[in-house]
Structure 1
């Protein structure tokens, strides 16, 4: 294809048009900037230097000078909410919604901000009402997330499931862990009310949503055990090993209790021994030790504890070794040492959330700090202490 030389004549024209457009944009920007009150820029400086209280004062002064600046209203409302002044944030956004000159995009923005105010203030009914309206707008994503937060806080699990499924469709991000946990929470409510059939149904729904939902199998085992179906309970708990073996820590004691009821303690001891060998589970090893001590006596328990202490020296192994040693003996110095070690172990053991690092002595399915699900590992961590044990 021949090069059209006449295009070269147009290049200076294109450059000239670009220069003019840029000059117009800069001129417009300078014009708009010059109309803003000086207190607006002071407010920005305070925000940059992380002084929200002074920024609020500056923006409030700027609004007195020019009450028609929408950006200032929204910035000030966000600051009120950030500093916990919820009444002022609510009044400001309500005032914006009462303005007749507000275009539809600004009305939606003010409505979304007001809903966030209500949420932060704990006025969940009012927040829910607005967020439900916003689910049909460009704010659908944030509105659904806020609704999910509300329903979890209010323990409205059916609504939480519905909203989570809508969020999955909207964003493409899977929420199967959360949905399965919501079904487990529903089952927990059913169990408290004695509705075991409904509980089983919800737990099966949980496994349908997330086949690796350990909690569902643990709860199914609990239902079967309470109904006297110990073999069925053991089958449900055994399934945990196929999902996440670490969670056997939560069911080892339950399993041994069922084997006792069935009179199959040898099978139970063998199964627990194999689980400890394969997965190095501390709490399961303790259940195995206690059962061995009770069923086979101190000598067998001592041999087990001694072998463990040789292979993996730890305070936990030493505690079990001492417990086997002093079993059946009168109180003495060894018992004092064992008590000191046990107290130390109890004080230093904790579970840590993998998401936010929150620590707790008790295992949680739902982190009390960051509200994420299934972020607490069932294994204990232990704090390093520089103090003496006794």
Structure 2
């Protein structure tokens, strides 16, 4: 049977027409989806501006589904998850970005940095540490080193903290001499607890050589010398502190007075404390000067001299303790009330976050800031 070419003549135009219609339908669908994705993106931005994080996340998820190849949408979505505290989903988003082969080095480093932040916020310090080490040599290296430094400080890994601080100082990210000296002092405290005083002494000598202006090194060195039965050497360390960090003398005043009595260097101690008192009156310095006075009335004069320059409820209560009340029965309750009222004024306060404590801290337990506690009491600030 002969083949009828008439059907072929009709079929070719028909196939062309159907293909054209199909392509137009695909193009229309693509345009619709292309318009929907930006709408979802801008809707998400609007929710963000209105601080509606849940709705913004839903909008960005819709936008990502419409355009899964856009890395910026993934970054926005991951950051939103992190801000909301949904760390598992933030980690999945950023790990997905890292698994893609079509993103460049810049975006890959950015995703690695975001992943490290996810782990940090989630408190997964070991995984954060690994992620941060992978940023070495990237544009985020300085930020990664600072984050690593924070991790090692929180975990009290002082040798590793020293390594990172030295890298930051080499990279000209600021001066870390004080922090490095603090790390040496921390290591010295650990050595003292284990009974290795020789190592502690070496560490403290390194600390004062690296940062002579840091009071902590001299105070720790004096304490170690005193424990070793060397009161003269301990006194000399505090005398050096008065030269290098005079504003920290209130922290050393009581120890200086005790060492002066042990060594018989009372006049020298009075001179050092008087110089500090003339520079800036201090409750602790005044108490130390009073303790070095053999005559009780002269000691009480020290309190009055301070009160004439600066009012102080703490010292006023101590002065009144030596007064004879016309009604002796009233002295005990009045003295108790004054002691309770002045107790909060004896605290130390962090200048960075306001955290108050009975003892002086070199590293604030509240905000983790170094050297944020003044040497003076709350009443004197």
- How high is the TM-score relative to the length of structure 1? 0.81
Query: 1:128 touches 1:147 (CA, 8 Å); kept in 2?
Result: yes
Q: What's 1:13 paired with?
A: none
Q: How does 1:18-29 map to 2 (within 5 A)?
A: none
**Is the aligned partner of 1:351 residue 2:336?**
no
The answer to whether structure 1 residue 337 and structure 2 residue 334 are counterparts is yes
Could you tell me how far apart the structure 1 residues matched to 2:328 and 2:195 are? 45
1:296 maps to what in 2? Answer: 295
Mapping of residues 121-270 of structure 1, within 5 Å:
121-265=122-266, 268-269=269-270
* CA deviation after TM superposition for structure 1 residue 33, in Å: 8.6
Name the CA distance, whole Å, in 2 between partners of 1:362 and 1:41: 53
Shift of 1:49: 2.4
Q: Deviations over 1:167-201 (max 9, x none)?
A: 12223421212111111111111111111121122
Partner of 1:18: none
Partner Cα distance (1:357, 1:188) in 2: 26
Inter-partner Cα distance in structure 2 for 1:151 and 1:78: 25
The structural deviation recorded for 1:240 is 1.5
Deviations 1:143-172 (A, max 9, x none): 111111111111111111111111122234
Unaligned runs of 5+ in 2: 1-32
1:112-170: CA deviation from partner (whole Å, max 9, x where unpaired): 21111112212122221221121122221111111111111111111111111111222
In structure 1, stretches of 5+ residues that fail to align are 1-31, 385-390
- 2:147 and 2:97 mapped to 1: Cα distance? 22
**Cα displacement (A) at 1:279:** 3.0
Q: CA–CA distance in 2 between the matches of 1:308 and 1:150?
A: 44
Q: Deviations over 1:4-32 (max 9, x none)?
A: xxxxxxxxxxxxxxxxxxxxxxxxxxxx9
Cα distance between partner residues in 2 of 1:79 and 1:343: 48
Match of residue 7 from structure 1: none
Q: Residues of 2 paired with 1:64 and 1:143: CA distance?
A: 31
Off by >6 Å, runs of 4+ in structure 1? none
Larger radius of gyration: 2
The alignment covers a number of residue pairs equal to 350
In structure 1, the partner of 2:313 is 315
- Give the secondary structure class of the aligned counterpart of 1:276: helix
CA distance in 2, matches of 1:120, 1:52: 18
2: distance between equivalents of 1:52 and 1:185?
Answer: 43
2:50 aligned residue: 49
Show CA shifts across 1:190-245 (max 9, x none): 11111112112212222232221110000000000001100000110111211222
Question: CA–CA distance in 1 between the matches of 2:247 and 2:37?
Answer: 61
Pair 1:326–1:339, CA change in 2 (3 A): farther
Q: Is the contact between residue 37 and residue 65 of structure 1 (CA under 8 Å) also seen in structure 2?
A: no
* Equivalence for 1:363: 360
Distance 1:171-1:203 versus aligned 2 partners, 3 A rule: same
CA distance 1:161–1:326, shift in 2 (3 Å): farther
Equivalent-residue separation in structure 1 for 2:101 and 2:176 (angstroms): 41
Residue 92 (str. 1) matches residue 93 (str. 2): yes
Alpha-carbon distance between aligned partners in 1 of 2:165 and 2:144, rounded to the nearest angstrom: 12
Is the CA contact 1:177–1:213 (under 8 Å) kept in the aligned structure 2?
yes
Contact 2:94 2:114 in 1 (8 A): yes
| Change beyond 3 A, Cα 1:225–1:331 | farther
Q: What is the Cα deviation at residue 87 of structure 1?
A: 1.0
Could you say what secondary structure the match of 2:323 adopts? helix
How many Å apart are 1:269 and its aligned residue?
4.7
- Deviation sequence 1:245-298 (CA, Å, 0-9, x none): 221111111122222323455654554345334431211212333454xx433x
The answer (yes or no) to whether the contact 1:351–1:377 under 8 Å persists in 2 is: yes
Q: Is the alpha carbon distance of 1:229 and 1:136 closer, same or farther for their aligned partners in structure 2, counting shifts above 3 Å?
A: same
The one-character-per-residue Cα deviations of 1:368-387 (angstroms, maximum 9, x if unpaired) are: 23322112101012399xxx
Helix, strand or coil: the match of 2:348?
A: strand
